[in-house]
Homo-oligomer: A and B are copies of this chain.
Amino acid sequence: MFQTFEETARPEQGPPRLAALRGALVAEGLDGFVVPRADAHQGEYVAPCDDRLAWLTGFTGSAGYCVALRDRAGVFVDGRYRVQVRAQLADVFTPVDWPEVGLAEWINDALPDGGRVGFDPWLHPVEQLRSLRGALKGVELVPVANLVDRIWEDRPPPPLGPVAVHPLELAGEPHGDKIARLAAALQADAAVITLPDSIAWLLNIRGSDIPRNPVPQGFALLHGGGTVTLFMAAEKLREIGDHLGPNVTLAAPGEFAGALAALSGTVQIDPATCPAAVADALTQAEVVEAPDPCLLPKARKNAAELGGTRAAHLRDAAAMVRFLAWLDAQPADTLTEIDVVKRLEAERRKSNALRDISFDTISGAGPNGAIVHYRVTEATNRPVKDGELLLVDSGGQYVDGTTDITRTVAIGAPGDEERANFTRVLKGMIALSRLRFPPGLAGRDIDPLARVALWEAGLDYGHGTGHGVGAYLSVHEGPQRIARTGLVPLEPGMILSNEPGFYREGAYGIRIENLIAVEEAPALPGQTVARMLRFETLTFVPIDRRLIVAELLTGAERDWLNAYHTEVVAKIAPLVEGPARDWLLQACRVI
């Protein structure tokens, strides 16, 4: 099993660790210290050595901050983690509703003028620090070596996961060509690249430093002349031979800061993700702020990446179909949420192609389905009860692609409200699936289309409709997203999730998620718009017909659903057999 179910929070260890941190504060003459969840690479998952927030506070969510002062300590978490944080913290910590209450606002209230708060400049991006500094009144932010690391006695070493070559037939473009075309387009003499998935994409390598994301941790400099300096432990690269080639120079991670200090001319950094320490180290250079040059090229998948992703989705769909068929065949009231997770991972492993799961499977029965980022543990594990909904959000990392799929399933006979609201969510999912749109639109522009049917009933969901997805990279990648914050135009090749939902707190959760890829739409007779885009659906798994109120669908929506299920059968029936195949055929009947 990739996934584990233990409760990793250790609330009882919070008080002594906080006390030790306060000792370090006093020694440094500071009034406080900021501990973010993030590491220097700003990813969603961190290595154990970087999991400082969980180590200090017990809070294990994927985003948040602790601001430890001498007399109080706030733990700032967003809407996803409001319930979880209260269960995980000892009472020396105060949960703070963030971003409704900002760090600066809270610090301004807590500290007098002249207060000094330390931070680790490797863990805060330039923009974040700038806005924090701008909002602080009379309190100084002081860069210091990380105080948590100082008191963390058995801190694990940095990961040394081996790196593998990402084969050209899946990458679709030699890394030498990528380096050359990005270098030629740079708006500066060099660019600093701090995101592991950018480095992995640029160099056609994959890593194993972090769970769920097949990327190697490291930093890189892309030089305008078409060369790269890669700062990465040499022992991680033993298995890739001379793959990197003469234009990539390897350097030890410890040499990174010195190399930055030696750079002159103009140097490009991405202020959204580049650590403040990097900008500070560029003492000889003129800093130019611009998006990471890999972001857009990586987001626009090429034909090989799309081809691999399609293959991964078919393989993953077969596993999902076997899993759903098994689930439907179980006697009432015999399963728990953990049983569901185990069986699903086992089905994914059967292809012998699964490298990892792409995130911890969300298996939420009844009211747990309404916890958007629920991770089941032995402590929370709930029976899957007859008459409830079961929400399963999961994905696989295959060498040819990354998958992410949510299906909500009726266990026994579903209620009328659940069916009506499932149908409204489905209408939103179909609206995006059917959409044709002119180029230039961003995710923000189409996000409401997935919500209108819910809004009509006074309902909504508190998350974006879709996130970008990598090609055997992070299951959450930018800059493409379908959300209020999605301002980058959608372009052919971008892979996104399409996952509207609805959550009745304390009762049930509904989410339906397919992955989709932006593609050119062939012109229609009489078309007047020069060019149009649409979405190719990548996910082919039945949507639970028992939860659909057919009369709430328009004719066009029903046509889409029937055509989808026809395609599911055509693509997946040949990949499954026996009871799974029988189940698939009946699950895809015309509605």
Contact = CB atoms under 8 A, between A and B. Distances in A.
A528 interface: yes
A575 interface: no
Interface in A522-544: 523-524, 526-529, 532
Which 3 residue pairs of A and B lie closest in terms of their CB atoms, listed nearest first? A458-B527, A458-B524, A554-B554
Given A417-B526, A445-B445, A458-B521, 8 more contacts: A436-B456, A445-B447, A445-B448, A449-B449, A449-B452, A457-B526, A460-B528, A460-B529
A431 to B, nearest CB: 8
Contacts of A529: 455, 458-460
A150 interface: no
The number of times this chain is found in the oligomer is: 2
A579 interface: no
In this complex, the member of A441, A448, A532 whose beta carbon has the largest number of chain B beta carbons within 10 angstroms is: A448
A437 interface: yes
Interface in A54-91: none
Contact of A455 (B460, B532, B554): B532
Interface in A406-457: 417, 431, 434-438, 441, 444-449, 452, 455-457
A504 interface: yes
B455 A527 contact: no
A438 B436 CA distance: 25
A528 B455 CA distance: 10
Nearest to A456: B436
Contacts of A417: 526
A438 B452 CA distance: 10
A425 to B, nearest CB: 13
B448 A436 contact: no
In this complex, the member of A435, A445, A523, A524 whose beta carbon has the largest number of chain B beta carbons within 10 angstroms is: A445
B457 A438 contact: no
A31 to B, nearest CB: 32
Contacts of A441: 448
Given A417-B526, A435-B452, A554-B554, A532 B458 contact: yes
A526 B431 CA distance: 24
Contacts of A457: 524, 526-527
Nearest to A437: B455
Contacts of A456: 434, 436
A244 to B, nearest CB: 42
Contacts of A504: 528
Contacts of A458: 436, 521, 523-524, 526-529, 532
Contacts of A445: 444-445, 447-448, 484
A123 to B, nearest CB: 31
A456 B526 CA distance: 12
In this complex, the member of A436, A528, A532 whose beta carbon has the largest number of chain B beta carbons within 10 angstroms is: A528
A459 B527 CA distance: 6
A526 to B, nearest CB: 7
Contacts of A554: 554-555
